[in-house]
Structure 1
Amino acid sequence: MSSPISDNDFDNLINDAGLNLDEPEPQAAPVDGPATLPQQDLSFFGKIPVNVTLEVASTEISLKELMDVDAGSVIALDKLAGEPLDVKVNGALFAKAEVVVLNGNYGLRIVELSGSALSGLGA
């Protein structure tokens, strides 16, 4: 069985180990400009398929109202005509866009990127 260690013996052990608990940690020297992180090659992300959707508008109606819908019914939506539409990538808002026709197909003209644009992922 070991005997209890005295406070004095404990202090000696701490000091012998080079742990000086009484003095504050020295502050790191300030670095000019922002710290630069090592560059990583993220180009492999550019090959991951994503689902891009255009959300025209939405609304919330009761189940009774939905049950009353038939051919010719009109459901009012929450966006004004001509307002930019939401472009979503895998369900997350990516940009605002307007619909264009390109070689007979619908297309999107991006008018505003959201704060979560994917430009950092590379091509």
Structure 2
Amino acid sequence: MSDSLDSLNFDDDELNFAQFHLDESNEDIVIKDAPKTERDLSFFKNIPVTVTLEVASKELSLGELMKAGEGSVIELDKLNGEPLDVKVNGSLLGHAEVVIVNEKYGLRLIDIIDSALTTVG
């Protein structure tokens, strides 16, 4: 088996690129726009994503984190009552507030960031 692998190895001297004829024209390549057609995106409806509601965050050094113990309080970067960040697979989708639905937490979307939706299509 190693004999067949050895036959696949090439020395630099064996490779001769002069025999290939490449078009060296300096003309810019023009790609014509294809006519816009409606695409069937129903395939994407079944792809699972993770929706996360982020309350707030705080950047601190590892040394500061190591000082924290049971009962320590770390101040976060949002004020009480501010809308929370809704993230889909880690990317910001918009903002929401927490609601309770059938004894479970839920979220009510307040706004959706336009760029989050336009990058899909």
TM (norm. structure 2) is: 0.66
Q: CA deviation at 1:65?
A: 1.1
Counterpart residue identity of residue 37, structure 2: P
The equivalent of 2:26 in structure 1 is none
Gaps of 5+ in 2: 1-34
Once the two structures are aligned, what percentage of the paired residues are identical? 60
State yes or no: 1:50 paired with 2:59. no
CA-to-aligned-CA distance 1:15-46 (integer Å, 9 cap, x gap): xxxxxxxxxxxxxxxxxxxxx71111111110
- 1:101-120 correspondence runs (5 A): 101-118=100-117
Mapped partners of 1:74, 1:85: distance in 2: 20
User: Matches of 1:69 and 1:75 in 2, distance apart?
Assistant: 8
Q: 1:120: Cα distance to partner?
A: 8.9
Alpha-carbon offset, residue 116 of structure 1:
3.0
Greater relative contact order (Cα 8 A, min sep 6): structure 1 or 2? 1
1:119 Cα deviation from its structure 2 partner:
8.2
Structure with higher Rg: it is 1
- The aligned length equals 88
- Matched position secondary structure for 2:87: strand
How large is the RMSD of aligned CA atoms in angstroms? 2.3
TM-score (normalizing by structure 1): 0.65
In structure 1, what is the equivalent of residue 61 of structure 2?
A: 62
Query: What is the letter of the counterpart of residue 79 of structure 1?
Result: K
Aligned equivalents of 1:114, 1:108: Cα separation in 2: 16
Task: Work out the CA distance in 2 between the residues paired with 1:87 and 1:66.
Answer: 25
Q: Distance in 2 between matches of 1:61 and 1:92?
A: 22
Structure 1: 4+ residue segments shifted above 4 A: none
SS at the partner of 2:40? coil
| Structure-2 residue corresponding to 1:14 | none
SS of structure 1 residue aligned to 2:115 = coil
Amino acid at match of 2:115: S
Give the match for residue 4 of structure 1. none
